């Protein structure tokens, strides 16, 4: 069995993963004269910076997702295959997938990262991650289901556990999710659930470090923490979550929180395939690459984005931040370098151009950092809206997201609070 793609006389570039890096690379190779094969376990690109809005019932998954076949329908010598990569034969230059094998001239791994539970199997089994739209939908289902269950519960302790939302991880994802659920508590619960005392709902954000948003400036971290506390979020710093037992989140100081809604956004690790040895893996489970995103010892194999950790950059000794802009810039440069290789020209090394960082906390509340200035509050929130709206693929999706934001800003009365499936739940009875 194979992927049913005739190679012909052209060089073939196989790209594993259609995230920001893989997508940018494929687009930039459009007129390269090479055959492009994109393999992904989903048939769509998902705009991860807005996944938290799906989790909070503020946006439908289709609004931040775009089919690969629609993106590339006018591209020549481009092929998409829906499959999962099982292993790679570096000697035979062959990728082994769930639907067959395919040879390559150049292989680019851009499969991104997955949630890191740091080896705690009990937490892995109970907590809900939020790296994909399907995981975000599961969180939305669980939050809404637990509210419904709380209304009918006659046990006060069970009711409180159902209404306690515990989010572990104080990076941008955790901050944004905690903020939007807090707004949901303030604006949605009193209207949709008038027979429930909305003050009983508690949102906890637990961060092991001494401050939120550790990748940003301390002034931005302090502003984000102040925003969240003013919104009623219980911010817990310098504590590590060690376990989850009997529907209680256990922390390293012996304290615990009863909850049936346990969300884990505390860390990520690079995606690994079956036969990638430990000698190829660096910090954070990421594959080691040189300044050209090449994998040492693996001929014509490259890694970009969250899956890669590059050595030799003095500004980022522990690897570049796992952000969309890094993946996009690496994909853009790699496309040029592959063209250079075909022409026998020297490759250009990668240098990350930091365009800034931002995180939104809630309505009119955000923090943003750029090379020349830092800002918090309404202006940062407005900049966040503009930047993310520009980055979404497709005119239709841009319009849907913009209309959603306008409508939600006016009255918070979007009709997306539907429970289609209970999915994975730490709230189910044992």
Residue 106 φ/ψ, nearest 5 degrees: -130, 135
- Whether 176 is catalytic is yes
Helix, strand, or coil (residue 298): coil
Helices (H), 241-377: 324-342
d(CA 207, CA 23) in angstroms, rounded, equals 32
Q: Structure tokens of 277?
A: 């040895």
Sorted by sequence, the CB contacts under 8 Å of residue 237 that are 6+ apart come out as 170, 207, 209, 210, 211, 212
- Catalytic position from the list 24, 60, 135, 176: 176
Q: Does an H or E element contain 185, and which?
A: helix 172-187
Nearest of 145, 159, 143, 238 to residue 196 by alpha carbon: 159
Sorted by sequence, the CB contacts under 8 Å of residue 169 that are 6+ apart come out as 206, 207, 264, 265, 266, 267
d(CA 365, CA 384) in angstroms, rounded, equals 10
Contact 125, 115 (CB under 8 A): no
**Residues involved in catalysis:** 176
């Amino acid at each position: 069995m194979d992927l049913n793609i005739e190679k012909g006389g052209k060089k073939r570039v196989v790209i594993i993963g259609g995230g920001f890096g893989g997508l940018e690379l494929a687009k930039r190779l459009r007129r390269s004269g090479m055959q492009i094969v994109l393999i992904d376990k989903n048939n769509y690109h998902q705009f991860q910076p807005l996944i938290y809005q799906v989790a909070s019932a503020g946006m439908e998954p289709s609004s931040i997702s775009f089919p690969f076949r629609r993106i590339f329908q006018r591209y020549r010598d481009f092929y998409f295959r829906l499959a999962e990569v099982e292993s790679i034969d570096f000697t035979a230059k062959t990728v082994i997938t769930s639907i067959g094998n395919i040879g390559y001239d150049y292989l680019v791994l851009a499969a991104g990262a997955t949630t890191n539970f740091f080896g705690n199997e009990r937490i892995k089994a109970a907590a809900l991650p939020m790296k994909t739209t399907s995981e975000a939908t599961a969180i939305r289902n669980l939050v809404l289901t637990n509210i419904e269950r709380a209304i009918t519960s006659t046990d006060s302790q069970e009711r409180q556990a159902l209404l306690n939302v515990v989010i572990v991880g104080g990076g941008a994802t955790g901050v944004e999710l905690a903020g939007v659920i807090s707004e949901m508590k303030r604006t949605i619960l009193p209207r949709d659930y008038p027979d429930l005392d909305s003050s009983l709902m508690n949102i906890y954000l637990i961060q092991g470090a001494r401050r939120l948003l550790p990748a940003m400036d301390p002034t931005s971290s302090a502003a984000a923490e102040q925003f969240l506390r003013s919104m009623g979020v219980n911010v817990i710093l310098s504590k590590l979550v060690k376990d989850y037992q009997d529907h209680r989140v256990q922390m390293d100081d012996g304290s615990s929180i009863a909850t049936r809604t346990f969300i884990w956004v505390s860390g990520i690790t690079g995606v690994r395939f079956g036969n990638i040895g430990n000698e190829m893996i660096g910090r954070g489970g990421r594959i080691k690459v040189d300044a050209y995103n090449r994998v040492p010892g693996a001929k014509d194999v490259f890694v970009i984005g969250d899956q890669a950790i590059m050595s030799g950059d003095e500004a980022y000794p522990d690897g570049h931040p796992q952000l969309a802009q890094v993946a996009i810039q690496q994909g853009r440069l790699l496309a040029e370098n592959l063209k250079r290789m075909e022409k026998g020209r020297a490759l250009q090394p990668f240098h990350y151009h930091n365009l800034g960082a931002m995180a939104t906390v809630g309505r009119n509340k955000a923090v943003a950092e750029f090379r020349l200035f830092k800002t918090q509050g309404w202006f940062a929130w407005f900049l966040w809206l503009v930047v993310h709206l520009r980055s979404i693929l497709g005119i239709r999706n841009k319009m849907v997201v913009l209309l959603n934001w306008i409508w939600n800003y006016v009255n918070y009365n979007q009709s997306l609070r539907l429970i289609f499936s209970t999915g994975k739940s730490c709230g189910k009875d044992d």
